[in-house]
Every structure is written in structure tokens, then in C-alpha cells.
Amino acid sequence: MTLDYNTLAKTIAALTEGETDEIALMATVACEVHHSDTRFDWTGFYRVTAPGTLKIGPYQGGHGCLVIPFSRGVCGAAARTGEPQLVPDVETFPGHIACATSTRSELVLPVRNAQGEIFAVFDIDSDQPDAFCQGDAEKLGAILNAVFAR
């Protein structure tokens, strides 16, 4: 399946128009993205709740880790560096946290507010190896910016 990012972006924009509550926005984005592509096995947010600490936010899929320090895992790396993390094989990522044994590849994007501060990361896991590409990171990053950095 080829994901139609233009339609996804328009759908999310329509659903989130006028909404300012971050949790409501996260829940809507997680749901829409998760159900948009069969590659997406777990889709959700980890929120910055204390310096150097991420806690689980709205998500779709099986259970996730409840707390992730910035110093560990793919989510921690995205929060720590402020850079998207595109991991074709989680087994080769140093310090990968296996919240679900089915995860084979992962894409994690930092989420910034209107002031440019990272307040969350958006995590997508796939049970398929090498499921994500740079285009996914760019298109999803643009959607996240449109929703959260306005």
C-alpha cells in the first residue's frame, strides 16, 4: 500500500481544526496515522513530563513502555538529539528498548510546539523490517508541525 500523505494531512487538519488540547490532538493524530497504513503496528506519542523523561501518551496498538529516559532507546534518541530516528532494524540500534517483541523497524519524530521546543516524540513501530523511508519521516514531520507548531 502506498500511503496518500496528502489525503492524510487534509483529514488530520480537518479533524484538529480549532483544537488546542495537546492530548486530544495526540489521540487524533495517533488514531488517523495508525489506521492509514498496514506497516504501522504501533503508533503513538511519548510526552516530555520531566527533564530527560518521556512518558507514554495517546497511542494505538498493543501496550507500550510507560517511561523512557532520554538516554535510552530510539524514542530517547529523538528527544535527546531533536532529530528524526529512522531505524530499519531495531536489533542493530544500540540501547533499543523492546517494548514489544514484534517490532522490527521504527520511526521516531521529535514533536515541537510553536516555540520550537520538543514536548513529545511520535513513535511508529512496524512488525516489518525496513518499513520506513526518509519520505515517511518528512511527510509525517510536516503533519506534526502543522498540528502542534501552529
Q: Is 95 a residue whose pLDDT tops 80?
A: no
Distance, C-alpha 88 to centroid of its chain = 15
Can you give the pLDDT at residue 137?
97
Domain that holds residue 128: 5-148
Can you give the pLDDT at residue 106?
95
Q: Is 1 a residue whose pLDDT tops 60?
A: no
Q: What confidence tens digit (pLDDT) does each residue in 52-71 have? A: 999 999 999 998 899 999 99
Task: Count other C-beta atoms under 10 Å from residue 78's C-beta.
Answer: 26
Query: What would the mean pLDDT of 2-23 be, rounded to a whole number?
Result: 95
Q: What confidence tens digit (pLDDT) does each residue in 113-146 have? A: 999 999 999 999 999 999 999 999 999 999 999 9
Cα–Cα separations (whole angstroms), residue 13 to 10, 133, 137, 138: 5, 23, 18, 17
Distance, C-alpha 71 to centroid of its chain = 17
CATH number at residue 94: 3.30.450.40
Phi and psi, residue 60, nearest 5°: -130, 135
Cα–Cα separations (whole angstroms), residue 146 to 16, 42, 108: 10, 22, 17
Task: Indicate the number of domains in the chain.
Answer: 1
Q: What confidence tens digit (pLDDT) does each residue in 107-117 have? A: 999 999 999 99
Grid coordinates belonging to 34:
495508525
60 CB burial (10 A radius; 0-12, 13-18, 19+)? middle
